[in-house]
Structure 1
Amino acid sequence: MPLLDFIRYHQHLTGTKAGCNEGDCGACTILIGDLHNGELRYRSFTSCLTPLGNARGKHIVTIEGVSMPSLNPIQQALIDNSATQCGFCTPGFVMSLAGFCLSRQVPKRRRAIAAIDGNICRCTGYKSIEKTASIIANFVKQRNETDPVTFAVEQQILPSWFSGIEERLKKLTLSLNGEPAAAGTPIVGGGTDLYVQKPEDIREQSLRFFFDDPSLKGISRQGNKCIFGASSTATDLLESAVMQEYFPQLENYIKLVSSTPIRNMATIAGNFINASPIGDLTIFFLALDTTLEFNTGRILPLRQLYKGYKQLNKTEEEYVCRCWFELPDKDTLFHFEKVSKRTHLDIASVNTAICIRMQDGYISKARISAGGLNPVPGLLTDTAAFLEGQIPDDALVQQACAIAQKEISPISDARGTADYKRLLLEQLIKAHFITLFPSLPIQV
């Protein structure tokens, strides 16, 4: 079952609200603490999409878990700034801001606001909530080098018993209840899409929980390759020193992918295997010509994974173990673009990425990926081939846009009409070149 159901209907902790059951509204936000490289780490999760099996060996914190005899600074700031009305969404905001207070990142206003990008309020208005986030950010700046949990306890953001959680987790003995699931049993990673698509189907199934498998975690550099485990999350990607070094705009790209709680849960390989035509991470890594390795030892380029809509080039027994791509050198340019109806918590109307290698002013190699335009996420191979050997200029970009139109077959749906998506692709290709070649006078 989803962790939300266990919290509300088995533990009877009803402060955690059941809202959309799709990870969109943030009313069910909780904190999950675990040991990461020997240190206690907390991240926000949407409990409606968190498999109960993924709670194993962790500290689960609901709104009741931050309650004290008097209001904590987060709750008080929300009241002082009139940042709550009906109050249904408020527990989620409190938990997300508590997660910000427990983060080891340098506390900044933009990070406090980013922490609540997975929470929706329908009646208060966001300026009062943003003001609250700013006050909390300024409050947390006082901690300097103090451990986040220690500071939160000292400032009565959290109850005093949080100080003993790290040692309790270290002493916790992990054991499975019953026999391990057999091979061929359905696999669940973060659950962010599986629990939206078929929650009733999987409620009574045996499952294999891969989210915490250490062999499927980690992002590292080996030679000129970046290698990442299949269960690494979008947040792991964002926080990776390797990725930050080679992709200076990484934060701008990843913030377009869903929301903070979902990024904390969503696995990279899960995005690939979901096979959505608009999978953001799929489009990102297609442009980098990423390679997959399955548990059988089979190696497959990501571009060859998709045979048709939701049809994969893999057997039921196969699952992705790790992935890798060649890190860009100084002559390689990369950019990712996405258009959706809202910035956060939304799927793309069209998304696209480009990877270009330059040599003596010419494009020696190009790859352009695009989503939302065909039944499967894929590469615009004809467009890329046309670009190779050419000097970037406005005429080249206009011709490339025309060729790209012949490689797509969009349909009209809730994300936009087919004509609108064609226009979006043209504009986003231009955006790639405007960003990567700012001196070029591209006609838009």
Structure 2
Amino acid sequence: MIKFILNNTEITTSMAPGMVLLDYIRYERNLKGTKIGCREGDCGACTVLIGGVTNGVLKYSSATSCLTALGNIHHKHIVTVEGVNFDYEPNPIQQAMCDQAGTQCGFCTPGFIVSMAGFCLSDKQPTQQNAIAAVDGNICRCTGYKSIERALEQVTELIKDKTGDTVEYVTSKNILPSYFKNIKERLQLLATQTNGEANMQSINTRFLGGGTDLYVQQHDKMVYADIDFLTRKQQLKGITKHGDKCVIGGAATVTDLITSPVILAHFPKIAEVGKLISSTPIRNIATLAGNFVNGSPIGDFSIFFLALGAVLTLSDGENKSDVALEKFYKGYKTLDKQPNQFVESFWFTLPDKNTWFTFEKVSKRTHLDIASVNSAMSLTMDGNIVTHARISAGGVYAFPLYLAKTSAFLVGKELTEELVTEATELLQTEIAPISDARGTAEYKRLLLSQLIKAHFIKLFPLLEIDKLLA
């Protein structure tokens, strides 16, 4: 049985836990404000808020309900557009959209309203930049975004004095309904209720993190699958520092990564990387371990952590084993992992003051798109001498690739323009791109060479390597 709160109603359901939340909302609860659009997490028409209590604090995040399994909302608060309505008048967020002519056909509007409500409930500063970021997963095809931006300005003005408890603030200001005040206590009570939910892992178990790719590829298979919901395991979450190592739980999300104090201290520009990868509602539920296990040749975080030398800890629930991420991939979608194993956690050595790291990605669209080619590089320097190097690349091989030869070639050498040129020539012997919808093989070869040069230009601008791009 799955228990959660849907808007202001407590729900107990025996529906298949692999069923996506979108279908449950529309067809089982007849709440038609949440729209069916792309069913791939791209359009935002199905956006909902998911609220949960962690360490006594209630936090909300936006999510695409088309890719969220019912089993992943156990003991959560789900807010649809109906859940932000007042009885006889629009709430101030809805009124802002009306005042600024922010809706035309209206199909996308509920998703925008929910995302804006999530912004009001968040701990983000009330700035226009943060307001726009809150709706980066919502697409409007007919109104045009300027009117929606004006509505966001009006919403931002509503919460300009926001302090303290956000739920208390938005309810006291009549921005959202008063029932939100009691949600934390209701969720805490719900969590104390047991309902025989013990998850006995069977031979046919499918492991599920956020599901943001699995439901796109295998929706019908997942609905009635025997699923072990990894995001419900608190021990698989968290990002912690142990000496010079960073340990990240297998159920940690992309949002967890880009907001982690540990990560921000060593990768201050991580938010810029995050903006290149999916959208806020996807980042809120997509797990980093899921990106590894997906095995996509262009997996952004697979490439990111390959360059950092990440090591995975695999578990079958009892026994554990470690495998370096660079050894994890055996072929296209083929992993060094048994079917009964999942990624419990992974770790990597945090960069010191002499280590430089950068990530590059090129795609047809800057945002909300998969890479044509992506790459990451970590260099440790002793003056002008490279003492340690790791370079990774995606979109140029059957799986996320660690460029072992090119990385080894750089070590012990003085960093010069000539060395960079030689490295870009050597890497061509390590890759084997194919022509597909993202570009020809020749284009990808050229693109990777340019990205490698871009790494050096960004990290060592005094070398004037930019002339090599001509």
> What TM bracket, shorter-length normalisation?
over 0.9
Q: Per-residue CA shift, 1:74-123, capped at 9, x if unaligned?
A: 21221222221111011111111111111112222211111111111111
Partner SS state of residue 231, structure 1: coil
2: CA distance, partners of 1:129 / 1:403: 49
For the residue of structure 2 that corresponds to 1:158, the secondary structure is coil
1:313 aligns with 2:313: no
Q: TM-score, normalised by structure 1?
A: 0.97
Q: Which amino acid aligns with 2:125?
A: V
Matched, 1:250 2:273: no
Where does residue 279 of structure 1 map in the other structure?
A: 299
Q: Aligned residue for 2:99?
A: 80
Q: Which of 34, 56, 67 is the matching residue for 1:49?
A: 67
Note if 1:166 corresponds to 2:184: yes
- CA contact 1:109–1:138 (8 Å) conserved in 2: no
Structure 1 residues 60 and 403: CA distance shift in structure 2, 3 A:
same
Q: Aligned partners of 1:429 and 1:73: how far apart in 2?
A: 49
**What one-letter code is carried by the residue in structure 2 that aligns with 1:266?**
A
2:114 to 64, 88, 95: 95
Distance 2:184 2:347 in 1: 33
| Residue 197 of structure 1: aligned partner | 217
Residue 28 of structure 2: aligned partner: 10
Q: 2:461 aligns to what SS in structure 1?
A: coil
Alignment match, 1:109: 128
Q: CA deviation at 1:178?
A: 5.8
Q: Deviations over 1:243-264 (max 9, x none)?
A: 0001111111111111100000
How far apart, in 2, do the equivalents of 1:289 and 1:406 lie?
Answer: 22
Residue 56 of structure 2: aligned partner: 38
1-structure distance, mates of 2:254, 2:392: 19
Deviation at 1:288, TM superposition (A): 0.4
Number of corresponding residues: 443
User: 2:375 — aligned with what?
Assistant: 352
> Can you give the 5+ residue segments of structure 1 that lack an aligned partner in the other structure?
none
Moved more, 150-159 or 323-332: 150-159
Indicate the larger mover: 6-15 or 170-179.
Answer: 170-179
Show CA shifts across 1:299-321 (max 9, x none): 11111000000000111111111
Q: Distance in 1 between matches of 2:104 and 2:160?
A: 28
1:219 to 233, 236, 239: 239
Residue 119 of structure 1 pairs with residue 138 of structure 2: yes
Cross-structure match for 2:418:
395
Range that drifts further, 146-155 or 90-99: 146-155
Amino-acid identity (%): 54
Cα drift, residue 397 of structure 1: 1.7
Summarize the Cα distance change of 1:380–1:147 in structure 2 as closer, same or farther, 3 Å threshold: same
Secondary structure of the corresponding residue to residue 191 of structure 1: coil
Distance between the aligned counterparts of 2:103 and 2:117, measured in 1?
Answer: 16
Taking the TM superposition and a 5 Å limit, the aligned residue runs for 1:325-336 are 325-336=348-359
How far off its partner does 1:164 sit? Answer: 0.8
Paired residue secondary structure (1:425) = helix
Equivalent-residue separation in structure 2 for 1:111 and 1:362 (angstroms): 41
Could you say what secondary structure the match of 2:374 adopts? strand
Asked if structure 2 preserves the Cα contact closer than 8 Å seen for 1:231 and 1:268, the reply is: yes
CA distance in 2, matches of 1:24, 1:65: 23
CA distance in 1, matches of 2:247, 2:183: 32
Letter in 2 for 1:148: T
Alpha-carbon contact 1:34-1:59 (below 8 Å) kept: yes
**AA partner of residue 264 (structure 1):** N
Give, in whole Å, the separation in 1 of the partners of 2:436 and 2:187: 47
Residue 227 of structure 1: how far off its partner (Å):
0.4
1:12–1:191 CA distance, 2 compared to 1 (3 A) = same
- What's the secondary structure of 2:232's corresponding residue? coil
- Structure 1 residue 229 displacement after superposition: 0.5
**1:324 maps to amino acid:** W
Q: In structure 1, what is the equivalent of residue 202 of structure 2?
A: 183
Counterpart AA for 1:364: T
In 1, Cα distance between the equivalents of 2:20 and 2:195? 18
Does the C-alpha gap of structure 1 residues 210 and 176 become closer, same or farther in structure 2, counting only changes over 3 Å? farther
CA distance in 2, matches of 1:187, 1:409: 31
Q: Is the 8 A contact 1:231 1:267 kept in 2?
A: yes
Q: Distance in 2 between matches of 1:416 and 1:126?
A: 30
Residues 130 and 401 (structure 1), Cα distance of their counterparts in 2 relative to 1, 3 Å cut: farther
- Residues 430 and 226 (structure 1), Cα distance of their counterparts in 2 relative to 1, 3 Å cut: same
Q: How much is the aligned-residue C-alpha RMSD, in angstroms?
A: 1.3
Aligned pairs (5 A) from 1:236-247: 236-247=256-267
Tell me the CA shift for residue 174 of structure 1: 4.2
Residues 371 and 378 in structure 1, CA contact (< 8 A), matched pair in contact too? yes
Residue 146 of structure 1: how far off its partner (Å)? 2.9
Deviations 1:50-93, CA, capped at 9 Å, x for gaps: 00111110000000000012112221221222221111011111
Q: Confirm or deny that 1:66 pairs with 2:89.
A: no
Q: Deviations over 1:202-233 (max 9, x none)?
A: 21122111112111011000111000100000
CA distance in 2, matches of 1:400, 1:165: 57
Aligned equivalent of 2:384: 361
